[in-house]
């Protein structure tokens, strides 16, 4: 079956790539501007709020809960988190830097998973683990080259010099 010139498997990977990217990029936008979904305008990063403080201070639990609570309101942690949401999300949406975005996306998901150990609904797995698996799977296919800027990206001088940026 072919749709818009893509096989059904390619359409599935495109959907996974853009979907994961949008989840992260939307979280960045909401936390940056306080769009009123997960973040109220008064708590937006641009308004001086901390994008990680509420979650780390009040929602982390389990064996690493105290460790993560201690990271709340840390400007370095906030900056790295927001950079990760922005860069990984945008890279996935655009289809560029798929290897590095896939690996760093998986790391981010494992870190988020580890904020609540053991997970409340399953002793081992939760949605963060599934997202991590999908991020890693995206590093093995060329999904960025399908309905994305991946074909252009892999031919840029910087990617030719540093192939890990593919």
> Could you tell me if 113 and 126 are in contact, meaning their C-beta atoms sit under 8 angstroms apart?
yes
Interatomic CA distance for residues 163 and 27, integer angstroms: 29
Report the chain's mean pLDDT, rounded to a whole number. Answer: 94
**What is the C-alpha separation between 8 and 103, in angstroms, rounded?**
25
Closest by CA position to 16, among listed 144, 149, 151: 144
**What percent of the chain is modeled with pLDDT above 70?**
98
Query: In Å, how far from its chain's centre is CA 18?
Result: 11
Q: What is the pLDDT of residue 4?
A: 73
pLDDT at residue 45, rounded to an integer: 96
**Token pair for residue 117?**
């150990």
Instruction: Determine how β-strand 61-62 pairs with β-strand 6-7.
Output: unpaired
- 3-class DSSP state of 117: strand
Provide the β-strand partners of residue 62. Answer: 117
Q: What is the pLDDT of residues 42-94, one digit of tens each?
A: 999 999 999 999 899 888 999 999 999 999 999 999 999 999 999 999 999 99
Q: What share of the chain is helix, strand, coil (3-state, %, to 5)?
A: 65, 5, 30
pLDDT above 90 (res 121): no
């Amino acid at each position: 079956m072919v749709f818009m010139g893509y096989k059904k498997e390619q359409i599935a990977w495109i959907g996974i790539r853009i979907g994961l990217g949008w989840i992260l990029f939307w979280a960045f936008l909401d936390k940056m501007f306080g769009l009123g979904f997960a973040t109220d305008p008064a708590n937006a990063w641009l308004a001086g709020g901390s994008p990680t403080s509420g979650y780390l201070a009040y929602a982390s639990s389990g064996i690493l809960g105290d460790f993560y609570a201690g990271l709340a309101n840390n400007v370095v942690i906030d900056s790295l988190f927001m950079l990760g949401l922005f860069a990984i999300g945008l890279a996935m949406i655009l289809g560029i830097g798929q290897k590095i975005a896939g690996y760093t996306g998986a790391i981010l998901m494992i870190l988020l998973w580890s904020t609540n150990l053991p997970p409340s609904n399953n002793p081992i797995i939760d949605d963060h683990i599934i997202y991590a698996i999908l991020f890693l799977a995206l590093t093995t296919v060329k999904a960025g080259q399908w309905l994305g800027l991946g074909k252009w990206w892999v031919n840029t001088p910087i990617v030719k010099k540093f192939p890990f940026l593919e």
